[in-house]
């Protein structure tokens, strides 16, 4: 089986290669694809030398699966070309997420929606993935009326240039500016571009994608997304109103027994999820579970995950694993 990774030299692409190795993903040939400026470079991976190839060459090779992490414009142009030669594309960008003809997949929630005809599959936004994964077992039990989420998102979500800006600022150097303001020792209530309604594109992604993944337009969602000077992962304060009342002990049990979730909820001993501990982990970490005492049937929770892992690379690799296990390629 031929597997291609488009954007193999970027932050997420590098993480995809690590996850493929850790998961022992079975392929016969690996094609590493990047931009023209990276074409011809050699990457050492799992004891072998891999020459970076271009997109045209990758399409001509007709891989069974291609994982894209190269930005929306590249995905819009090239994903259909791969699909046309029979390749299943798993796309990490926002290009296809809200296309009604494309599946938006978190494997633990809705992988069963994938069929043999699906040649372009969308990976959700990183902050959406960790939230919906933590909410899914509770949604199944109690139903969800409304979600209020505030995020604390790592600079790694913007890419290497943003990390370079923060580290240069930390060292007292003058950086190339990726953000409109300094990010080190600061907080920016601004992720992606502002929309006419006053929300950012990132906030609208969380609102729209959550409804699509849950296949429920009746769920009310509002979001404030914030960039913080951290590495290792995104954090979220989530306030969720259920259709039914809940028992906190049952909530904890449901989360502890759900796939891909680790509960860290012992505040008396200072145990709660933090990005520094989520770094390089595939799981979503949940804690600070407590009843909202201001209104009925409402829970407060704190959700943390490595945005480059479950928020991107791990989720994509899990989709690829599902395709293989169910003979969809």
- Average pLDDT (48-56) is 96
What's the mean pLDDT in 102-131?
A: 98
Domain ranges in the chain?
2-124+312-325, 127-307
50 catalytically annotated: no
φ, ψ of residue 62 to 5 degrees: the values are: 50, 60
Return the ∠ at Cα 202 (arms to 201 and 207), rounded to 5°.
95
Per-residue model confidence (pLDDT) at position 114: 98
Please state the rounded mean pLDDT for residues 193-214. Answer: 98
Residue 221: is its pLDDT beyond 90? Answer: yes
Query: Mean pLDDT, to the nearest integer, of 124-138?
Result: 98
pLDDT of residue 35: 86
Q: Which residue is catalytic, options 181, 234, 277, 279?
A: 234
- One DSSP character per residue, 195-217 reads PTTS-BHHHHHHHHHHHHHHT-T
Choose, from 23, 50, 126, 181, the residue flagged as catalytic.
126
Q: Report the CATH fold assignment for 127-307.
A: Dihydrodipicolinate Reductase; domain 2 (3.30.360)
Q: What's the rounded mean pLDDT across residues 133-153?
A: 98
pLDDT at 166: 98
The predicted model scores a pTM of 0.96
Concerning whether 190 is annotated as a catalytic residue, the answer is: no
The pLDDT of residue 258 is: 98
Burial of 309 (0-12, 13-18, 19+ CB in 10 A): buried
Q: What percent of the chain has pLDDT over 70?
A: 100
Strands 284-291 and 120-122: unpaired
The pLDDT assigned to 307 comes to 97
Residue 285, classed as helix, strand or coil, is strand
Note whether 206 and 223 are within 8 A (CB).
yes
- CA–CA separation, 229 vs 162, rounded Å? 10
| CATH tag for 2-124+312-325 (out of 3.40.30.10, 3.40.50.1980, 3.40.50.720, 1.10.1200.10) | 3.40.50.720
Q: What percentage of the chain exceeds 90 in pLDDT?
A: 98
């Amino acid at each position: 089986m031929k597997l291609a990774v488009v954007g193999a030299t970027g932050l997420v692409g590098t993480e995809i290669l690590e996850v493929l190795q850790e998961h022992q993903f079975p392929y016969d040939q690996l094609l590493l694809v990047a931009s023209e400026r990276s074409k011809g470079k050699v990457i050492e991976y799992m004891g072998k030398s891999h020459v970076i190839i271009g997109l045209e060459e990758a399409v001509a090779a007709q891989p069974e699966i291609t994982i894209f992490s190269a930005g929306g414009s590249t995905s819009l142009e090239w994903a259909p070309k791969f699909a046309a030669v029979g390749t299943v594309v798993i796309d990490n960008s926002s290009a296809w997420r809200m296309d009604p003809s494309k599946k938006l997949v978190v494997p633990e929630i809705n992988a069963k929606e994938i069929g043999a005809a699906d040649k372009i599959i969308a990976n959700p936004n990183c902050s959406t993935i960790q939230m919906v994964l933590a909410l899914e077992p509770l949604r199944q039990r109690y139903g969800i009326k409304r979600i209020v989420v505030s995020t604390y998102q790592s600079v790694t979500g913007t890419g290497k240039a943003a990390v370079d800006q923060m580290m240069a600022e930390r060292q007292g150097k003058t950086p190339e500016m990726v953000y409109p303001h300094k990010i080190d020792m600061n907080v920016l209530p601004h992720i992606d571009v502002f929309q006419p309604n006053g929300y950012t594109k990132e906030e609208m992604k969380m609102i729209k994608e959550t409804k699509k993944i849950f296949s429920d337009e009746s769920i009310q969602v509002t979001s404030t997304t914030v960039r913080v000077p951290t590495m290792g992962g995104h954090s979220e304060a989530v306030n969720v109103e259920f259709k039914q009342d809940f028992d906190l002990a049952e909530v904890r049990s449901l989360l502890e027994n759900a796939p891909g979730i680790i509960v860290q909820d012992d505040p008396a001993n200072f145990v709660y999820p933090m990005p520094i501990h989520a770094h390089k982990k595939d799981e979503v970490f949940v804690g600070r579970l407590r009843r909202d005492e201001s209104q009925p049937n409402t829970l407060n929770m704190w959700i943390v995950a490595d945005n480059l892992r479950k928020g991107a690379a791990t989720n994509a690799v899990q989709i690829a694993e599902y395709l293989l296990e169910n003979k969809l390629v």
